[in-house]
Amino acid sequence: RQRAAQRRTAMIDSLRNLPAPAKLNLFLHVTGRRPDGYHLLETVFELVDLCDRVHLRRRDDGAIRRRNPIPGVAAEDDLAVRAARLLAAETGCTLGADISIDKRIPMGGGLGGGSSDAATVLLGLNRLWGLGLGRRRLMALGLRLGADVPAFVFGCRAFATGVGERLRALPAAPQWFVIVAPPVSVPTASVFASPELTRHTKPLKISGLSRGRSVYRGKNDLEPVVCSAWPRVAEALAALRFAADSAGADGRLARMTGSGACVFCPVPDEPVAASIRKRLARQAVGTIHSVRSLRRHPLRDWSFA
């Protein structure tokens, strides 16, 4: 099967403008802690149309190189580079790749940009190198890079448990969101290490969500810790809630995504999103994005034969 896949891709030497979408955690509950220290989580991942762009070119010498600098991220630490090297090592592939990434997703904001880039590299090189690995194998490799990576390979709105790797599809109608990225970066490890973090939220049931229970009835257990330690996040959240209420949305639904620093609010439609953006533009709260949910990851329909 791998040889057949390699023949189909023999004429392809590059893949450009591969999308790596951002995610929102519609809620994020910490439900416990494993003996190894990893936190047990419960969340819904929503993919949105704010995307990094990944460019891949095949190399025949086996080298894996990142071709453009990313401020604050050394190539050796970049999840995208690590994803390529892990894929090559696990499959015995002797090909290499040049990797370039156009960053559009705010870094250190809880939107999963680095994890999404890594997932897109796994998906892209699986095709470019003609490996023919199935989605589940790629998800397992992604988990070795980070807990969010499998969700992007999974490729649709998902209810997640465990450390974030147990995923079940959760269909939903399209939704608009306004995202505010305050001018701070929040280190995830310090948030999870905080003694103030709630670690025993009562788990929800997937059956309730499947029957239409609102995903916005949950909360983000990390939000109080981050808002206390990073006042700019608290300011952005308060401003977003006020602007949403003033524009006809429900500001009570605004919350932080992931471990921050970005905050978001679901809104009824694009005109309301535009109104909120206009109101927030008068304040120095950060970069503002209006985005729409994605029914599927743009690469999810790729063949895995």
pLDDT of residue 171: 87
**Euclidean distance between CA atoms 75 and 160, whole angstroms:** 29
Q: 3-class DSSP state for residue 225?
A: helix
Q: What is the model's pLDDT at position 6? A: 52
Q: What are phi and psi of 301, to 5 degrees?
A: -85, 5
Pick the catalytic residue: 13, 23, 205, 245? Answer: 23
Question: Nearest 10 degrees: CA dihedral of 146, 152, 154, 159?
Answer: 80
Q: How far is CA 149 from CA 4, 249, 268, in A?
A: 27, 31, 29
Strand partners, 46: 24
Q: Could you count the other beta carbons within 10 Å of the beta carbon of residue 162?
A: 16
Residue 266, helix vs strand vs coil:
strand
Tokens of 11: 């004429």
Torsion angle of the four alpha carbons 32, 36, 38, 41, in this order, in degrees rounded to the nearest 10: -40
For every residue of 87-151, DSSP letters joined together read: HHHHHT---EEEEEEE--SPTTSSS-HHHHHHHHHHHHHHHHTT----HHHHHHHHHHH-TTHHH
The SS3 call for residue 178 is strand
* Max CA separation in the chain (angstroms): 59
Which residue type sits at 146?
A: G
Task: Please list the pLDDT of the chain residue by residue as tens digits (305 residues).
Answer: 555 555 555 558 999 999 999 999 999 999 999 888 889 999 999 999 999 999 999 999 999 999 999 999 999 999 999 999 999 999 999 999 999 999 999 999 999 999 999 999 999 999 999 999 999 999 999 999 999 999 999 999 999 999 988 999 998 899 999 999 999 999 999 999 999 998 999 888 776 676 556 788 889 999 999 999 999 999 999 999 999 999 999 999 999 999 999 999 999 999 999 999 999 999 989 999 999 999 999 998 875 54
What DSSP character marks residue 288? E
Residue 176 host element (H or E): strand 176-181
* Catalytic residue check, 278: no
Q: What is the dihedral of CA 46, 48, 54, 58, to 10 degrees?
A: 50
What is the pLDDT, as a whole number, of residue 305? 46
- Distance (Å) of CA 287 to CA 64, 161, 172, 228, 281: 33, 31, 27, 21, 9
Which of the following is catalytic: 78, 117, 148, 221?
Answer: 148
- Residue 148 a catalytic site member: yes
